[in-house]
Chain A
C-alpha cells in the first residue's frame, strides 16, 4: 500500500536561518501524526509545504503520489485560528459550504445531497444551533469547530489541522479530536495534527513529529516524548514526566507555552 504523504529530505530555510533539514516522513492510511514544537519552528510551514503553498528549500513531497499542488482538492485543511470580521456577510453554513464547492467556478446551486452533506457536517461538530448565525458574531471556539466541519465536508483523503484545539474548552476538544479519530478509523483518512499540547490527542496518536529549533525527531510518543530525546533536541536538560497518564514537559526554553492557551472571548 502506498503512503498518502511521502516526504524525503525536506529542508526549510529562510535566508540564513535553517529551520530543519533532512526531514523524511511517510504517512500511511489511517495514521494520526501529531506535530509538536515551540512557536516558530515551522509547523505551519510544514503544512503549507504539504498543501503546495510553499516550496521546500530542498527535498521532495508527494501527496497521494502526486505533487502537492495537484492533489489539493482532496485535502481538508483547518488553518491556524484567525477571527472573522464581525460584519462579514457569511453564515456558519456558508463557511462550511465553501469547503465543498468554493473552488468551483460560476454561481452554482446545491443539490439535495450536497445540502444534506453540509447539514451533517454542521451537526457533527455540534453547530446545528448556530448554523445560520453570522460567522463574525460567533466565539473563537465556535468558529474553530466550523473550520473542522469545513475541512470534513469535502470528504478529504488527508486532513491537515493547524492547532485546531486552540480556544476550545475540554468538552469540545474531546468532540473535535473524537471526530478526527473516527474519520481516520472509518474512512482511513490520515491526520496531521499540529498542537501545542499533546495530551488531548495522546490516546490516538500513532507518531509524533517533534520540531525543535534547528532539529527534529519522529517516532512513537514513547520514543520521542522522553527526557533523553527532548534533551538532545533542545541541547539542554529537559524532563519529560508522566503524571496520571498525562505528559508534562519541563525545562524547554518555551516552557510557558506548554500549558494550554485559551483565547476564548
Chain B
C-alpha cells in the first residue's frame, strides 16, 4: 500500500513542495538564529495566521491574507530593528494582540473549519500543482535575496558594530531579512502549519550551528536537516497515518538532540 502511494501524483507534488520549502527555511534559519530572532519567527507566523483568518472572513484566498499578515509584521520588526530584551517584549505584545484578532476572525468565519485547521497544522499532502508553482516562485525570490545580501547580512548578524562602521546598511538589511523571513514563513505555514513553523526555520539551523562553526557549511547543513525532516516526515505520514507535521517536527528535533550530543567537527 505504501509503494502504491509513492506512485501517486499528489505524493510527488507534496515531496517537491516540501523540498522547496525546506531549502528556503533551512537557509534563512541560519540568519535568524544568528541574530537571535527566533521569537520573531513565531510572531510572524501567528500573525500570518491572523491575516489568513481575516482573508477567510472576507472570502478571499487565505494564502494572500497570510502573506500580507506576515509581510506587515516582518516590515514592522525590520524597521524597529530592536535588539535583545526590548525586541522580545515588543514582539510579545504585538503577537498577543494579533492572535486575539485572529481568534475573533475565526469565530466570525462560517465556512469549512478544515481551512482553519490546515492553517494551524499544515496540509502538505493536499498541495496542488498550482500551489507548488507559487511556492517555487516565492522560494526563488527568497533565495535570490539571500544570495545577493549574503556577506553584508552575515556581517551585520554576527558583528553589527563593525559592520556599521564599514558602511553596511544595518537598517535596510534588517528590513530585508525580515521581509524574506515573512515570505519564508508564509511558505512554511503551508507545509507544517502556523504552530510548527519553528520546526523548519529554527530547529535545523540550531542543529547545524552545533555541528560546525563554518558559516557556509552551517548554511548547507541547516538546509540538509530541513530537507531530511520534511521529506522523511511526508513519507512517514504516508506509511503511518499520523499528521505530517508531527513527523517533521519529531525528525527535526531528533537531529537537533543528536547534534547537541555529538561534538562539533
Residues of A within 8 A of B (CB): 51, 53, 69, 72-73, 75, 77, 79, 82, 84-85, 87-91, 94-95, 98-99, 101-108, 132-135, 147, 150
Cα–Cα, bound, A134→B263 (Å): 13
- Given the known interface contacts A89-B213, A99-B162, the answer about A108 and B150 at a Cβ–Cβ threshold of 8 Å is yes
Asked if B225 lies at the interface with its beta carbon under 8 angstroms from chain A, I say: no
Taking the closest CB of chain B, its distance from the CB of A5, in whole angstroms, is: 15
Majority-rule SS of A interface residues = loop
19 sample A-B contacts, Cβ–Cβ < 8 Å, listed by A number: A51-B165, A77-B161, A88-B209, A89-B208, A89-B209, A90-B158, A90-B213, A91-B213, A98-B151, A98-B159, A102-B154, A102-B155, A104-B151, A104-B152, A106-B147, A107-B150, A107-B151, A108-B150, A135-B213
A-B CB pair tally, cutoff 8 Å: 94
Asked if B148 lies at the interface with its beta carbon under 8 angstroms from chain A, I say: yes
Cα–Cα, bound, A53→B166 (Å): 10
Contacts of A51 in B (CB 8 A): 164-165
Binary flags per residue of B165-191, CB closer than 8 Å to A gives 1, else 0: 111100000000000000000000000
* A88 and B167 contacting across the interface, CB-CB below 8 Å: no
Contacts of A106 in B (CB 8 A): 147-148, 150-151
Cα–Cα, bound, A227→B154 (Å): 48
* A103 and B152 contacting across the interface, CB-CB below 8 Å: yes
Give the contacting residue for A102; candidates B30, B34, B168, B218; CB below 8 A: B168
Contacts of A105 in B (CB 8 A): 148-149, 151-152
- Given the known interface contacts A89-B213, A90-B213, the answer about A134 and B166 at a Cβ–Cβ threshold of 8 Å is no
Contacts of B92 in A (CB 8 A): none
Interface size grouping (class) on chain B: 20 to 34
Contacts of A135 in B (CB 8 A): 213
- Other CB < 8 Å A-B pairs besides A90-B158, A105-B149, A132-B213, 7 of them? A85-B36, A88-B213, A89-B218, A90-B213, A102-B152, A103-B167, A106-B150
Residues of B within 8 A of A (CB): 30, 34, 36, 147-152, 154-155, 158-159, 161-168, 208-210, 212-215, 218, 264
- Given the known interface contacts A90-B215, A98-B154, A102-B154, the answer about A72 and B165 at a Cβ–Cβ threshold of 8 Å is yes
Contacts of A101 in B (CB 8 A): 151
Contacts of A133 in B (CB 8 A): 213
Closest residue to B146 on the A side, CB-wise?
A107
Contacts of A69 in B (CB 8 A): 167
* A108 and B214 contacting across the interface, CB-CB below 8 Å: no
Contacts of A147 in B (CB 8 A): 162
Contacts of B152 in A (CB 8 A): 102-105
* A89 and B165 contacting across the interface, CB-CB below 8 Å: no
Of B161, B213, B218, the most chain A CB neighbours within 10 A belong to B213
* B210 and A87 contacting across the interface, CB-CB below 8 Å: yes
* A72 and B167 contacting across the interface, CB-CB below 8 Å: yes
Of B34, B36, B159, the most chain A CB neighbours within 10 A belong to B159
Give the contacting residue for A89; candidates B34, B155, B166; CB below 8 A: B34
Which 6 A-B pairs rank lowest in CB-CB distance, beginning with the nearest?
A102-B155, A134-B213, A89-B218, A77-B165, A72-B167, A103-B166
* B208 and A103 contacting across the interface, CB-CB below 8 Å: no
Give the contacting residue for B155; candidates A84, A87, A98, A134; CB below 8 A: A98
Contacts of B150 in A (CB 8 A): 106-108
- Given the known interface contacts A73-B167, A106-B150, A107-B150, the answer about A98 and B209 at a Cβ–Cβ threshold of 8 Å is no
Give the contacting residue for B163; candidates A75, A90, A103, A107; CB below 8 A: A103
